[in-house]
Structure 1
Amino acid sequence: MTAHTLIRESLLDAAAVVLPVRCAGCGRPDRSLCDACLEAVRPAARVHDARGVPVCSALPYEGVARRVLLAYKDGGRVDVARALGRALRGAIAEAQRQAPAVGERSALLPVLIPSTRAAWRRRGYHPTRSVLARAHILVPPLWRALRLSRQTADQAGLSADERSGNRDGSMVASRRLAGRECLIVDDIVTSGATVAEAARAIRVAGGRVVGAAAIARTPRRSSAGAEATLR
């Protein structure tokens, strides 16, 4: 995290304390997240397959969770990052438990999906990295372990085929990942195209993709029966 980003987030956090706020989930006054909405973003990890990569997600991307994530990513509500960090921590912990044992395993290395230049200019920070910092996991990510080899369009509003074409061949992984057991980390998983592209790049660099963790997953009604809920 750069000094500029740290200062910006600190100022926004301070403003959220001093200025009147409304709940990011329901709009109730004087609460960053009311008790009911805080409970709604409590992690309940689910695991599903995303193009061959097992993904643990903490929340369904709907209702309160969707409103809170949109407020955080596009509304400047960094005051909810701590609650989202708790959710992401739950997904990462479950991914660690679900990972197949290979000898004596240490904690998996988190590898963050990179932001596009347009998203960085718009927000001034990497939203998933900021949430991960508040998740208080033991192993920090390698900064720029993944980078974009070309700029891609916003995935929102694209079909599954368009999402795949938008991401295919768009990432390059650092050789520092060679021989490492990696856990891809993202905020929201929809079609799995981004996770699949990240996995491809990591494998090309010599890393081993054990799985992925996300704050939320967009529900896919057709595959609901194949999804396992982990309590």
Structure 2
Amino acid sequence: MPLVLRPAIAVALRGALAAVSPVSCAGCGAPDLEVCDSCRLLLRPRPVEAVHAGLRVVTALRYEFEVREAVLAYKQRGRLRLAAELGPALRAAVEVALPAGSPPTALVAVPPSPSGRRRRGWDPVTTLARAARVSASPGVLVVRPGRSSSQKRLDREQRARARRGSLRCRVDLTGHRVVVLDDVLTTGSTVQEARRALEDAGAEVVAAVCLASTPLASHAAS
């Protein structure tokens, strides 16, 4: 029987391993630095607005090269300290989506899949939101049982079909303005499914904010 660690224990073990492991830049691999100066410049926010299937989407970074490596190091390799490096970019995108004077609007985080949560022991989007000092609401959206298979090898249409109906909203949001919060925009299927679930619960979804977008997502914007 495989050993399954509780989330808190898994996070603690990753932190202990990080403390004794050699440190290298999360973006380019330069030794002895969490993030080198050159890669830190690449992580400076450059918010871009686009429209995906009628939904306004704001992203802060281009998900490629060193930026992609840094996001993967944070999300997949458990380098949680990178949240402090990535957080300001997410905050900048939120500020573009919701400028000063905007009506009250809730930020709702896209949830990790159950398998992703078990594997990591933590939630990448809400952790990043805390580092960005923005108030995101975790647990509003949940993944329906049996709808958490990997989509990495799927094309745009396959992802959309796989995502359809995969999320549900646990609360009544009638009359509430909402912005969807996610980490990486690839095809847009995840934020569109979040939008559907939130609108089914009565929300007015005014935008989505993502830390980074792939070149594919940027090309597909209309």
How far apart in 2 are the matches of 1:31 and 1:141?
Answer: 30
Matched residue of 1:157: which SS?
coil
Give structure 1 stretches of 5+ with no counterpart: 99-103
Instruction: Go from structure 1 to structure 2 and tell me whether the alpha carbon gap of 1:169 and 1:195 turns closer, same or farther (over 3 Å shift).
Output: same
Residue 148, structure 1, aligned to residue 143, structure 2 = yes
Pairwise CA distance, 1:7: 7.0
Equivalent residue number for residue 122 of structure 1: 119
Residue 158, structure 1, aligned to residue 160, structure 2 = no
Residue 169, structure 1, aligned to residue 171, structure 2 = no
Deviations 1:158-193 (A, max 9, x none): 101100001001111133422211110000011111
Query: TM-score by structure 1 length?
Result: 0.84
User: Please, which of 213, 219, 222 is the counterpart of residue 223 of structure 1?
Assistant: 219
Partner AA of 1:159 in structure 2? D
Partner AA of 1:142 in structure 2? S
Instruction: Go from structure 1 to structure 2 and tell me whether the alpha carbon gap of 1:13 and 1:94 turns closer, same or farther (over 3 Å shift).
Output: farther
User: Please, which of 89, 92, 103 is the counterpart of residue 90 of structure 1?
Assistant: 92
Contact 1:13 1:79 in 2 (8 A): no
Pairwise CA distance, 1:152: 2.8
Give structure 2 stretches of 5+ with no counterpart: 1-5
Instruction: Go from structure 1 to structure 2 and tell me whether the alpha carbon gap of 1:204 and 1:13 turns closer, same or farther (over 3 Å shift).
Output: same
Pairwise CA distance, 1:141: 2.4
Residue 136, structure 1, aligned to residue 133, structure 2 = yes
Partner AA of 1:171 in structure 2? L
Partner AA of 1:174 in structure 2? R
Q: Report the number of matched residues.
A: 216
Contact 2:180 2:207 in 1 (8 A): yes
Equivalent residue number for residue 80 of structure 2: 78
Contact 2:187 2:217 in 1 (8 A): no
Query: TM-score by structure 2 length?
Result: 0.88
Instruction: Go from structure 1 to structure 2 and tell me whether the alpha carbon gap of 1:94 and 1:75 turns closer, same or farther (over 3 Å shift).
Output: same
Contact 1:53 1:195 in 2 (8 A): no
Contact 1:50 1:191 in 2 (8 A): no
How far apart in 1 are the matches of 2:105 and 2:45?
Answer: 20
User: Please, which of 176, 179, 183 is the counterpart of residue 175 of structure 2?
Assistant: 179
How far apart in 2 are the matches of 1:208 and 1:174?
Answer: 16
